[in-house]
Each structure stands twice: as structure tokens, then as C-alpha cells.
Structure 1
Amino acid sequence: MGVGNELKCDDGIGPYIIKELKKENIEDDDRIMFIDAQTVPENFTGKIRKENPSHLIIVDACLMDGEAGDMKIVDKDDFANIGISTHSMSLSFFVRYLEQDTDFKIIFVGIEPESMDYADEPTPKVEKAACEFVNILKGIIL
């Protein structure tokens, strides 16, 4: 699941990654589903619960006091300590809601943004991190 606002430069890195993954035709595998949640991941809770995946990987830009493009798996208990952002529902609440009555593993991957100004493309450092992330996922999936 890619989360973020594509009109705010690096904040749109989650949806950017989903679009890149869809280009690879990986989703043809019935075990894989990509969700471009934009700024409303809560709109997909029903779909996620219905599919009952073994894993849900959420990727979003988040302020972690690192260098632009740094990637980190963020523990759900640390959500309060990082800047996750432009979404109508807090991701910590979203994750807690999904965990009710489910047993799938939720992994949150944060990517440090360089800019959250209005622009429809990620900055080069963050785009490079996104490409690395896509390649890592492809290596795991394929």
C-alpha cells in the first residue's frame, strides 16, 4: 500500500512506488495486490480485511531526522515519534484498526523526504530510494 499526496513532491513517494510496481506486471500473481491509497488509506480497510493478506506493507514518506531518501522499517509503537503527515486518518490509528480481529503482519516502511513543497515528481534522492525499494520488493516477490 502506497500512502501520500502526489502533489506534494516527496510526500507522494508511496503512490509513486505503487505505480512503478504496477509497471512490472507483478500483480498478475493472485497472491499480490497493490493499493495506491493516496491520502485516504482508511478507504481500503474493507478491501484489505476481505483479502485477508498474510502481510501488508505500507510505504509512506515520514520525517525521521535522517538524510533524504533514507529508508527505515518503522515499528508501529514509534509512529507517535515520527512525522507522518498529510493523511486524513493517523496511520497509527489505521494500523490499530486493521489489527483488530486479523492476524496478518503489518510492516511500515518510511522514506525520509527532502521536500514536501508542491510538485508532482519526487526529488532525485527520494526517487532513487524508491527505485531501490521497488527492486528489493521485486527480489522478494519474484
Structure 2
Amino acid sequence: MPDLSSRYALLCVGNSMMGDDGAGPRLAELCAETPLPGWTVVDGGAAPENDIGFLRELQPEHLVIVDATDMGLAPGEMRIIDENDIGEMFMMTTHNLPLTFLIQQLREDIAQITFVGIQPDVVAFYYPMSAAVEQAVNRLHQLLPALEQGLGIAPFQAEVA
């Protein structure tokens, strides 16, 4: 049963059968192994829209969404992506609905939403997760408790053509 007094929620998005796209679900596993006090963790898998109702009911002060995101960076690099840029970016996605839809639905009940993208290396069926992405997931797990002080992850800067 989730702790409805949680101040923070973590929505982990991705498909663990698709190599590095499993970054989100792997983070959810890490949080199950080593829980983060004050956090409710939701493994949204490849259909995070199924968790909209639960997250809206939870009404955390701050929601962090984590997903593998092709940003043209070195594998394992993490960036905080402004929600206004998500729709404009060519985002590799294995999900049923765009993440912009998900965020718009949650925005009504959750004031602070932070989207963290992890640059994948290989996204293909039955590939293992790369070492670089596994390291990024572990680092993010360590950074999340310091959310109030800032995660220390650079914002994504789209290259101007």
C-alpha cells in the first residue's frame, strides 16, 4: 500500500525488455531494494498513462518522471528536460501515449514536475542494459533524496540549428 503522506513521487517509465529503455523500471527496482524515505515509487512501465489517476490522487508536492530519452548525448548522460521542450524534441519512445499528454494530465493536481532523461545506448528487444545506463540509474537513485537542494543534473540544451 502506498504511503499517501509521501511528499515526493517517482514515476519510472520504460520497457525493461528493450535494453536501455529499461532505465526507469531498473530505478523502480533499486527503490524497492533500497527505499527512499518520503517517496512513493511507481513503475509506470511502457504505459505510464495507466498511473495518472493514482498519481493525481496521491497529490505529491513534487513528481519526478524518469525515462530513457535520446538527446544525442553520450550513453548514461542525464539531463533535466523542460516540459515545453518534450513535445518539440524527437523523443525515442516505446510508450503508447506521448509524455506531454501524461504531464498535461498530471499538471492539474501536481504543481512541481521534473522530467529526467537518461541517454540510452542500445534500445532493442532482449538487449541487456548498458553499463553506462546502469551507472546513471544508480547515481540518480543516490541523488533523489537531495531533490530539495537540486539534483545537480544539468538542464537539457537543444542545439540550435
Amino acid at match of 1:104: A
- The equivalent of 2:24 in structure 1 is 14
- The equivalent of 1:90 in structure 2 is 98
- The equivalent of 1:2 in structure 2 is 12
For residue 114 of structure 1, give the secondary structure of its aligned residue in structure 2: coil
Structure with more contact order per residue of length (Cα contacts < 8 Å, sep ≥ 6): 1
Which has the larger share of helix?
1
Structure 1 residue 139: Cα displacement: 4.6
1:63–1:112: 8 Å Cα contact kept in structure 2?
yes
Q: Which runs of 5+ in 2 are unaligned?
A: 1-10, 149-161
Q: Distance in 2 between matches of 1:120 and 1:34?
A: 25
Output one character per residue of 1:122-141: Cα deviation in whole Å (capped at 9) or x when no partner. Answer: 10011111111111114558
Deviating beyond 2 angstroms after TM superposition, the runs of 4 or more aligned structure 1 residues are 138-141
Output one character per residue of 1:53-87: Cα deviation in whole Å (capped at 9) or x when no partner. Answer: 00110000001011100100000011121414010
Matched, 1:131 2:138: yes
Q: Which runs of 5+ in 1 are unaligned?
A: none
Amino acid at match of 1:93: F
| Number of residue pairs the alignment of both structures matches | 137
- The equivalent of 2:45 in structure 1 is 38
2:62–2:110: 8 Å Cα contact kept in structure 1?
no
Matched, 1:109 2:119: no
CA RMSD of aligned residues (A): 1.6
For residue 12 of structure 1, give the secondary structure of its aligned residue in structure 2: helix
- Segment of structure 1 superposing worse, 81-90 or 126-135: 81-90
For residue 81 of structure 1, give the secondary structure of its aligned residue in structure 2: coil
67, 77, 88: which one aligns with 1:70:
77
For residue 76 of structure 2, give the secondary structure of its aligned residue in structure 1: coil
